[in-house]
Structure 1
Amino acid sequence: MPTLTDYQTFQDTTRREALRFRFNLPSNFVEGTARAIPVLMFRVDAEDDCTCWVHVNDSANNPTASNASIELRVTGSSGHKTMHELLRGTGFRRGRENQILIHKTPDATSGQFFVSDVVLMYQVEI
């Protein structure tokens, strides 16, 4: 079946320790195969070096149980970077609410990180 790229943007949120984006996906969302892998893109800047985690529909309390978590190393004081990561589409829920959580690791002791321009690209069946 043919597919078409669609996307959602999320309101910029900055100067937070944890950023949570809630959104719905259409019922014709393609979960992700060799031909349709969701891509999450965002800009990030950090005051200090840190590691941030990105979760799809998971609790920050148990990130290792995720089927869609990403661990990103962010170098502080080097200006904005644009991140783009391929996500396992099986972590998303078709036709109902989803959540993306971006936060620093619990052992991060200082500094803040700044996230903006969050975009999720995915395929839908037509």
Structure 2
Amino acid sequence: MSSVFTKIISREIPAHIIAEDEQHIAFLDISPLAKGHTLVIPKKETDLIFDLDSEEFRNLWSFAQKIGKKIGKAIPCIRVGIAVVGLEVPHAHIHLVPLNTMGDLNFINERLKLSPEEFQEIQNAIINA
């Protein structure tokens, strides 16, 4: 079940990677709802998040928590929202989205179009938080 996320993990396509360990990777969403919108995924190819075994599930959320805290420090926002939707890419993933209003986490909102420089600036800010 190879997906665009598999290609990011294997470095076949570029991504603005925020953090990585042996089991997980976090990178900026290429079509973000807000500046700092980050995807956190397991490296193991799993379509549905609830198909992860219990330990993998806990570890993914623990990794996401670390990334969410960094986003909250780096990006001006009231809080970092969390969503698990999984309809657009068949690979389990968690969306971490900086929020200032309830509407900021609406996936039918128009997505931001950021320049490569803006992505790089956001990536650096989160990494250095």
Query: The TM-score by the shorter chain falls in which range?
Result: 0.3 to 0.5
Task: Indicate the structure whose relative CO is greater, using CA pairs within 8 Å and at least 6 residues apart.
Answer: 1
More strand, by proportion? 1
Task: State TM-score, norm by structure 1.
Answer: 0.32
TM-score (norm 2): 0.32
Looking at secondary structure, tell me which structure has more helix per residue: 2
